[in-house]
Amino acid sequence: MGAAVAKAHQALEDTAGAPGTPAEARLAVAAHALLQWYCSPDAGIWDAEAACTKRSLLSAVDEILHLKEIHAFPMASPARRRMDTALGVAMSRLMDEFLVLRVWDASQLQGTDGLLFAVQKLSVSLASGGGVWPAFPTGGSASSGEFSVSDSDELYASDRSLSTWPDVVTVVVDGAFSDGLDLICPASLPVLHEIALRVIRAGYTKELLQTFTKASCQVLDRFLSILQLDRPFFDANRVNFEDAEWWTTEDMVKRWILATKLVGKALVVMQGQLREQKCGAFDRFKDDYFMAIAKQSIVVLLRFADGFTSTQSPEKLIYVLEMYEVLSNSAPGLLPLFTGQHAELVSRQLPVVLAKLARALRAAVNGLITKIREDCSQAAGETATHGIGVHPLARYAMTCVELLAPHRTALDLVLADGGEDERGAAAGGAERVGSFGGLVAELIAGMERNLEEKSALAFADGSPWQHLFLANNTGFVLNRAADADLASLLGDDWAARRRSRLEQHTASYLRASWGPVVACLEETTVRGSGKPAKALAKFNAAFEKMHVSEVVPDPALRAALRKAVSDMVVPVYGAFLQEHLNLGKSVKYTANDVAQSLSGLFEGDV
């Protein structure tokens, strides 16, 4: 037994054993009842259903209050001190009764059509990895990693019909909180009146307000349990999520988003329902009580979010961005719930966490820009092993852009307010991007410069494959930008420059690849010298060498290139055969054969 408990116990015994005057005898009887109550912590005045089962205990409290109100004992007298001690013990036990009282009822959240059932389905989906909400595609370090973009990542990034996890949660939460959802236990209301009435008579209102900060709420606790946190977390000042290896970042953020939306919606409903109730003497405490339990849940959510404010990895950018958006969008609905000191505290803490998340986002954005701009995961010669198709870095950059596109509004706010951290980043080599449009332009420009450098290292100077490689990747960027509705963001000039660049790469490829093939025939025709059979043999060899299995993944570009090659080769070859009808068996291909062969050019698996 602790010292304070032992002292209170002894004071009750002393009071119960000191009958004295009639007033002291009445105090002794009441103190004796309190002593039995004090020694039996599990024996309360009200049971689990809020029914009064120990009316004698309540009468004992009333007796002590009556003695206080009629000034039964002189000030500073031993009897007065004993009465004050007994009153303090009585109020302490009433506070305990309040803490175990079930004011809020979560039973209506159960059942196959209840909110918790819908939440459970979401949680099962979350635990099984269901729902589409990928992080940025995986990518190695700027010095050694290998970029990898899965089909599902690209599908999600390019398909505007797929909803984000917060969107799915919003639909479920809004649909589950119906107007007929009663969250208050009606039986608790008379008990709240009984407790508040005696607290007011005793002058212990300050203590009751302090007790509110320790009150639990079955409804909010159910929602916060989605976070799967141990109770010590609620009292922690800081949590290091980097050490939480048993959870993935995606899992943690999904849980937080679900809990935040549920708590935000529940608080609005709860406040409205509590204000509609007639709680007698407790009416004067309703707002303070509600704000106390609301603040507890908000603080838990803010501390959880604060644990991600040191996350600056580009791969986790989308997660932190979702947290920022949800918290920012929730703020207008949460802040009006509070007044006075509670409002001051929440309105001070919430912007701080938002600002820290914004700083983390800007750092992650700078990291992403640097990663794409400086990636050297494929050294000289390795690009050629990927063929002349779309490079993984291009897929990575455009998938990142498309994943960020739905969050344009939030990114505009975050990136516009750079401050000191942006100036520090710029000093470290990262460019300051003041908007989502600036970010997209910088990511694409950095990727394009990187690919140009890679192609220069991987292919011989003037190689046709370098031009085809750059044409493939330029066309890919144009198509993905159009699919993501980025044209208005980047501007007509941006698209026009890349179309012009695509045309230049295409023309350079044709000159460097098929130009020499046609020249084998044109030289004989123009100069009128040389043996036609020898020229034909050179053409055949050059034609077969160029007719390799390089792939152009974009159907439109593939068709345009085929037509351009065919227009360049077939007429010249047909004219050559018409001019030299006596070549006989030297003719390996007819003009139709060449045309048919070119019709399958650039085909194959991407």
What is the pLDDT at residue 223?
86
Rounded to an integer, the average pLDDT of 58-62 is 90
The least confident of 135-144, 474-483, 549-558 is 135-144
Amino acid symbol at 531: K
The backbone torsions φ and ψ at residue 46, rounded to the nearest 5 degrees and listed phi first, read -115, 145
Alpha-carbon gap, residue 414 to 354, rounded angstroms: 10
Q: pLDDT: is 123 or 485 the higher one?
A: 485
| pLDDT of 435 strictly over 60 | yes
Helix axes 317-334, 286-306, angle to 10 degrees: 170
| pLDDT of 135 strictly over 90 | no
Alpha-carbon gap, residue 480 to 226, rounded angstroms: 37
| pLDDT of 155 strictly over 50 | no
Within 13 Å, how many C-alpha atoms sit on residue 542's CB side? 18
Q: pLDDT: is 225 or 177 the higher one?
A: 225
Inter-residue contact 401 to 444 (CB < 8 Å) = yes
Terminal CA-CA length for the chain: 76
Inter-residue contact 353 to 302 (CB < 8 Å) = yes
Tokens of 486: 């980025």
- pLDDT for 401-428, tens place per residue? 999 998 999 999 999 987 555 555 544 4
Task: Among 103-112, 148-157, 388-397, 481-490, name the most confident range.
Answer: 388-397
What is the pLDDT at residue 212?
95
Inter-residue contact 228 to 116 (CB < 8 Å) = no
The pLDDT-based confidence of 499 (bands split at 50, 70, 90) is very high
- Cα 156 to Cα 267, 478, 479, 579: the distances in Å are 33, 18, 16, 57
The pLDDT-based confidence of 147 (bands split at 50, 70, 90) is low
| pLDDT of 375 strictly over 70 | yes
Amino acid symbol at 133: W
Among residues of the chain, what percentage have pLDDT more than 70? Answer: 74
Task: Check the CA dihedral 398-402-404-408 and report its sign.
Answer: positive
What is the pLDDT at residue 414?
94
Q: Which fold has domain 510-600?
A: Monooxygenase (1.20.1280)
Alpha-carbon gap, residue 25 to 318, rounded angstroms: 71
The pLDDT-based confidence of 144 (bands split at 50, 70, 90) is very low
Tokens of 213: 């900060």
Inter-residue contact 85 to 4 (CB < 8 Å) = no
The pLDDT-based confidence of 182 (bands split at 50, 70, 90) is confident
- pLDDT for 197-217, tens place per residue? 999 999 999 999 999 999 999
The least confident of 69-78, 300-309, 529-538 is 529-538
The least confident of 212-226, 270-284, 406-420 is 406-420
Inter-residue contact 89 to 15 (CB < 8 Å) = no
What is the pLDDT at residue 6?
53
| pLDDT of 549 strictly over 70 | no
Q: Domain residue spans in the chain?
A: 1-12+22-40+49-100, 114-126+166-375, 392-417+431-493, 510-600
Amino acid symbol at 60: A
What is the pLDDT at residue 461?
75
What is the pLDDT at residue 7?
55
